[in-house]
């Protein structure tokens, strides 16, 4: 086959793959929104579930999702970003850094239900936190750590070496360099990792159902059990309680994740334009 022909076929095939990918994505979103949007209303968002979710809305599960996700992010971000800073700025590459990195990679590959089981054994029973927001968010944060470490590390590494030299040569300590030069430049990348993690936390079901439980009332403290939208969707669909309300919940989930992504990327763009 001559190269020109080969090239044409390759371009055609690649274009077809892109088409399939976009089609699958749009089809899923369209399908869920079509089933879910008719259920949506202000009262669906603002009222608590009634009769196990057959009637009423999903307000308490929205709150449960927000609280659990925020708490998990608040725990995982300092741990993950701190680890990334240590690995990149405070130590040479050595056996320890390789072990840490390898451990994080392994953590990323563990199925979420195993995290759920681990969280159940450690937090719910051994430490006696019970099914609670505390147990759930701790478990979730462990799951998010690998992503946050890796994306933060990549973001920090991509800050030009020159910036480090300039910062040091202007009399900064290592910590001053990290806080005033490295982190501001790496922020867009770090935030991207955090957003990916938010998406993952919002969508997580297996790990949450084992650790945060599935109580339908509004949480009152970190020791309250709470149900997230994903768990709610799972229970509604799995137990055939109300498929309509399940799709309604799914639609809210999808819109929320889209919204978070769009909002953050536009904020990041503004930030980048202002500082870089």
Partner 1 sequence: MTPMTDLTDLAPPAIRARGLSHFFGSVQTLKSVTLDIWPHEIFGIIGPAGSGKSTFLRSLNRLNDLIRGSRVEGRLEVEGRNIYDPGTNVVELRRRLGMVFATPVPLPRSIFENIVFGSRLAGVRKSGELKEIVRDCLEKTSLWEEVKDRLASSALKLSGGQQQRLCLARILALRPDVILLDEPTSGLDPISTMKIEETLRQLKRDYTIILVTNNTKQAGRVADRTAFLLAGELVEVGPTDQMFTAPADRRTDDYLRGRFG
If binding is defined by CB under 8 A, does position 97 make contact with partner 1? no
How far apart (Å, rounded) are the C-alpha atoms in residues 66 and 212? Answer: 13
If binding is defined by CB under 8 A, does position 184 make contact with partner 1? yes
In the complex, least distance from residue 226 CB atom to partner 1, rounded to whole angstroms: 42
The strand ranges marked E within the chain are 49-50, 55-56
**Closer Cβ to partner 1, 79 or 268, answer by number:** 268
If binding is defined by CB under 8 A, does position 86 make contact with partner 1? no
If binding is defined by CB under 8 A, does position 167 make contact with partner 1? yes
Angle 138-52-257 (CA atoms, 0-180°, nearest 5)? 50
Cβ-based neighbour number of residue 119 at 10 Å? 25
What are phi and psi for residue 92, nearest 5 degrees?
-75, 160
Contact range with partner 1 by CB under 8 A, out of 3-11, 67-75, 162-170, 253-261: 162-170
How far apart (Å, rounded) are the C-alpha atoms in residues 21 and 144? Answer: 26
* One residue of 165, 244, 266, 267 binding partner 1 per CB under 8 A: 165
In the complex, least distance from residue 162 CB atom to partner 1, rounded to whole angstroms: 4
* One residue of 5, 92, 221, 240 binding partner 1 per CB under 8 A: 92
If binding is defined by CB under 8 A, does position 276 make contact with partner 1? yes
How far apart (Å, rounded) are the C-alpha atoms in residues 211 and 266? Answer: 34
């Amino acid at each position: 086959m001559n190269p020109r022909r080969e090239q044409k076929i390759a371009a055609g095939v690649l274009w077809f793959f892109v088409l399939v990918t976009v089609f699958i994505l749009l089809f899923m979103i369209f399908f869920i929104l079509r089933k879910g949007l008719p259920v949506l209303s202000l009262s669906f968002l603002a009222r608590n579930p009634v009769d196990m979710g057959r009637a009423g809305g999903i307000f308490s599960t929205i709150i449960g999702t927000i609280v659990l996700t925020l708490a998990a992010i608040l725990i995982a971000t300092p741990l993950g970003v701190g680890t990334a800073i240590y690995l990149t700025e405070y130590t040479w590459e050595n056996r320890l850094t390789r072990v840490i990195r390898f451990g994080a990679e392994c953590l990323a590959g563990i199925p979420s239900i195993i995290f759920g089981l681990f969280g159940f054994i450690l937090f719910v029973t051994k430490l006696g936190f019970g099914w609670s927001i505390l147990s759930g968010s701790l478990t979730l944060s462990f799951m998010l750590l690998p992503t946050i470490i890796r994306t933060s590390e990549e973001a920090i590494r991509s800050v030009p070496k020159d910036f480090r030299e300039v910062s040091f040569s202007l009399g900064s300590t290592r910590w001053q360099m990290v806080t005033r030069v490295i982190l501001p430049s790496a922020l867009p990348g770090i935030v991207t990792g955090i957003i990916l993690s938010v998406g993952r936390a919002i969508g997580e079901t297996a790990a949450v159902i084992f650790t945060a439980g599935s109580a339908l009332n509004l949480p009152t403290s970190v020791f309250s059990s709470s149900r997230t939208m994903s768990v709610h969707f799972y229970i509604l669909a799995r137990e055939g309680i109300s498929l309509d309300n399940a799709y309604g919940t799914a639609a809210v989930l999808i819109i929320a994740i889209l919204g978070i992504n769009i909002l953050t990327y536009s904020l990041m763009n503004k930030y980048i334009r202002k500082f870089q």
